[in-house]
Amino acid sequence: MRHVFLAAGLCALAAPALSQALPQDGDSAPDAPLFEGLDELAEGMRKLLEGIQDDVAPLMEDLSEQLRGLNAYHPPEVLPNGDIIIRRKTPAELVPEDEGAIDI
């Protein structure tokens, strides 16, 4: 999560410099290139996003494994008295993982 705040902070710090670099009405074009250093900023953002992806990938795999286990249960039912029942599927009702998959 701190990576997201770091990225937002970098963008916030870059905004005033970018607005100063843009020509205003009546101003002549600046001598320096308009987006000097943008390649370095893009490379830094790419590395930041790759770092976030590396941090989040194991968590997403764990979540995926936990969600696979939900296939063994029917959706919850709420009874008139307010009780909630979650019924386990019988072996005949279980769909093998490959049959339920959708090919895109």
Tens digits of per-residue pLDDT, 35-81? 677 888 888 899 999 988 888 888 988 888 888 878 888 899 999 99
pLDDT confidence band for 31 (50 / 70 / 90): low
pTM for the full model?
0.38
List % helix, strand, coil for the chain (3-state, nearest 5).
Answer: 55, 5, 40
Per-residue model confidence as pLDDT tens digits over 94-103: 766 655 556 5
Nearest of 32, 3, 5 to residue 20 by alpha carbon = 32
Q: What is the pLDDT of residue 76?
A: 92
